[in-house]
Structure formats: structure tokens, C-alpha cells
Amino acid sequence: MPELPEVETIRKQLESQIVNLSIEDVEIYNLRSIRRHDSAKEVIESIKNSYITKIGRRGKYLLLYLQATSSFVVYNTVIIHLGMSGQLLIQETGSEFKKHTHLKMQFNNNKFLCFVDPRTFGEVFLDNCEDGFCIKLQNLGLDPITQNFTQDDFYKMISGKKTKLKNLLMDQSFLCGIGNIYSDEILFESGLRYDRSPNSLSEDEVKSLYISIDKVLKKAIDKGGSSLRDEQYRDLFGEIGQFQNYHKVHARQGKPCCKCGQAIIKTKVNSRSCYFCPNCQN
């Protein structure tokens, strides 16, 4: 599933491609992709002929802010979650659209934004959002890139938590945007095991975790996110990410640790793969 760095990569690309364009037409081919709404007509009429004013992000969700040109429009934001296999692609008029394209927006420059999702776990829905706050996303925790929180704030956030560290990092109500890949990489960077209890962390260890979250996510964004072996994650132009080439533990079972040379171990945490160095992470 695309995580914060992948979604932020797409957000930045969308910002350069579709801001200030008007949506001339919308086509929906699979109602599961808009399952929060009663009909395709509701979505189409709320989006069509609106202008894209800016592109935001909250965790793994993309926010396309709209300026309405019709009195019918009651929403100001299109929210997109890519799910397990979703892709957003910019395509030209006359190009061949990919299989499993479930929604297309046509802009006034004759380009299309296409939502492609083979496994249909992703979705597109509408809401009214202000400064990144949306009612339908109100249960999300802080975004570790766009929302400022200090080391002291983080210490207070983590104090009293009973779930293990990997599970906590992946809890979207705690910090939104971190998933299986980046929880592994963050924990390795901070030198902490996946099964440590937050209550067992020293002040220095909390500081290390706090710094590692920012460091790993920003480097991953700089490299365009991670595409694993299936290359399912693609950016807006169909290109794969490059941060997988910098992974230190994730998907590196049996390979030597870049710090100590000991073999990376793979285990399971709540049915999810987890990779760590048994020597460097304590």
C-alpha cells in the first residue's frame, strides 16, 4: 500500500500539473470506487466544472481542493485513497487507458487524471475540508510531515501507550501515513526493536525515534517513494520510486545489515511482515 512518501510524491506532481485547471468532464466506471456516495451522478455533478485550487495531503489521503462554478456543488474537496493497488496517472487525449481505470477527470487542457485500481480497495469521495481538516478524516492522527509537533509533544503522545512500537507507528490514529515499509525503516534508524513497549523507552530513545521519523520519511520523499518487487506503486507519470534502493531492513531478509553485517530477520506482527536487525535494534 502506498504510504506517506509515495502519496506526497504524487501530491507534489499533481500540484505542478492540475492546479488552476477546470474539470470539464468526469467518467466513473466502477461504483465501488465511490462507495461512500449513493450514485455516480452525485459525484460527477459535484466535481464537474470546478477548478482545482490546490492539492493537499493528510497521511495516505490526497486532497484536491475545488472552487465551485455551479450552485449545485456542495463539496469543496475530492479525497483520494489509493488503497492496496491504486494508481493516479496523467494521460493525454487519445492515449490508451489502462485496464482497471475506474474514474477519469478530463481537464480543460485535454489531459486526464485517471484512477486505476485493480484490487478496488482504494476510493474517491467528497467532503468539505478547511486547512487539511475534513470531517470524514477526523479520526486520523497527526501528519508527521505537514503538522508540527515538538520532541516534547511526541514524548507526551507516546507516554502511556501499551501497544508495541511497530503497531503504534502504523496506527493511523496516532500518526497518519506510516505503514509497513516505513515503520521497519524508522525503527532500524532509531535502533529500536519492533516489539518494544513505548513505556520502556528512555528519553534518549524517544528522541531517536522522533528524529528518525522525520529523517526517513523526508529521504523517502526525496527519492520518490518505494516501489517493491511487484512495482505496483507508480508515480503520476508511471515511473517507479527509488527509495527501495536505500532500504536498510525492509524486504531484506537474510541479507547483511548495513551496520553490523548480521543477517536481517523477517518475522510476523499481526499477520504483517516485519524486518529488523537482531544486533542493531534493541
Tell me how crowded residue 175 is: count the other CB atoms within 10 A of its CB: 26
CA gap 38, 40 in Å, rounded: 7
Cβ–Cβ under 8 Å, residues 268 and 274: yes
156 has catalytic annotation: no
Active-site entry in 54, 164, 207, 272 = 272
Region of 177 (left: φ > 0; alpha: ψ -120 to 50; beta: rest) is left
Active-site entry in 2, 5, 144, 198 = 2
Residues 6+ apart with CB under 8 A from 217: 4, 5, 144, 145, 177, 178, 182, 186
Active-site entry in 60, 166, 196, 252 = 60
272 has catalytic annotation: yes
- Rounding to the nearest 10 degrees, give the CA dihedral for residues 34, 37, 39, 40: -40
Residues in the chain, how many? 282
CA angle 86/89/94 to nearest 5° reads 130
Residue reference for cell 515511473 = 239
Give the SS3 label for residue 200: helix
Q: Which residues are catalytic?
A: 2-3, 60, 272
